[in-house]
Amino acid sequence: MRYRLFGLTLESEIALGISPRPAAQGVPRIRIERGRVLPTARELPRTLEIHPQSYGACLSLPGFGFARFVERTRCLKIDTPAQMNSEDRQSVILSQAVPFALSYLGEILLHASAITDGHRAVIFLGPKGQGKSTLAARAVSDRFQLLSDDTVRVDVRSRQVRVHPAFPEIRMFARDVRARWTNVRTRGAFSKVRVDLSSRFCEHAVPLRAAYLVRGGRRRAGIGGVLSGAAAFAAWASNTLVCVSPSRSRETSRFRRLSRLADLCAVRPLDVVHKRDAALNWSELFEV
C-alpha cells in the first residue's frame, strides 16, 4: 500500500491504520517491510566492521523491537515481537521508525506540533509534557486544521519555510478525547489513544508563519519576546531529530538549513494554561 506521510510517498507492506491517499503517487521515498533487523554473525564481514551502506542504521525501540534503514535500497525493516498488537506496531512505525529513516536521509524533522489556517502554519516546539499536542487539539477543536501532532517535517528554502502535513492523527489520553470530542474514531496506542482527525487535516504543505517554544503549566498565559540568534538556533536544533548519517555533506547541509531556519523564522516563548482550556488568542499567534 502507498501512503502519503510527512509530505512524501511511502510504500508499506505493513498496514499503518491510516487511509492510503489517492495523492500518494510517484516513486516511494521509503519502503517499509517486515524483517529481521540484526544481522547474524555469518552475515557480518570478517573484520566485524558494520558498513552503513550494507547494514544500514539501526534504531532500537526499547521493549518494542528494532528498525533498520538501508539507504541503498531505501528499505526500512521493522522487527517487532510477533505478540505485539498491530495498533502499537503502527504507532511505533509512524512516530519513531519513519521519522528516523527520514532524518537519516537528511530531512529536517522537528519534535513539535503544527496547525494551520489553511494558508499559514504555526509550529509549537518544546520538550515532552509541555502541552504541544494539547495546543494542537485545542486549535483543531476551534477552527484550525492539523498538520502534525508530534513530528513536523519542514522544508527550508532560500526565502521560505514550508511545513508538510505528517498524518491525520493526534495522540491523547482517552479522558481528554472524551472531554473534547464525541464524534471521532479512536484506537489504542500504548497509554494514549490515536484520534483520527482526517476531516480536520490539511493535506498540503503551507508556509511557516510563526514558531513558539511552549512552556506549559504557567499561571499566566502570554507570548514572550523574540529569542536571540543563538537561543533561537538552540530552540530549533534541540527540537530536531538528529540521526547522524554517514554523509558529511548531508550533515553540513542540515546545519546550513537549520541556521537558515533560525534566520527566517523567529521563535518566541509561549506560556500556556491548559486547565479548562483557558482563553488563547489564536489570531495573535498567527499575526505576531
Partner 1 sequence: MQVSRDILSKTLSGEEVLMDLANGNYYGLNETGTRIWQAVKAGRTEAQIAEDLAADYGINANEALADVREFCALLQSENLLQP
Binding site for partner 1 (CB under 8 A): 228-234, 237-238, 242, 244, 248, 251-252, 255-256, 259, 262-263
The C-alpha angle with vertex 14 and arms to 110 and 90, in degrees rounded to 5, equals 45
Cell 533560525, residue?
Answer: 262
- The whole-angstrom separation of Cα 259 and Cα 107 is 14
107 or 117: CB nearest partner 1: 107
Cβ at position 246, least distance to partner 1 in Å: 11
- Least Å from the CB of residue 238 to partner 1: 8
User: What three-state secondary structure class fits 189?
Assistant: strand
- Identify which of residues 174 and 231 has a Cβ nearer to partner 1 in the complex: 231
Provide, rounded to whole angstroms, the least separation between the CB of residue 240 and partner 1: 9
For the chain, what is the radius of gyration of the CA atoms? Answer: 19
Nearer to partner 1, 136 or 262 (CB): 262
Coil, helix or strand for 200?
Answer: helix
Give the shortest CB-239-to-partner 1 separation in angstroms.
11
CB of 34 to partner 1, least distance (A): 30
Nearer to partner 1, 103 or 148 (CB): 103
Helices (H), the chain: 52-55, 86-92, 98-104, 132-141, 174-180, 229-238, 248-264, 282-287
Q: For the chain, count helices (H), then strands (E).
A: 8, 17
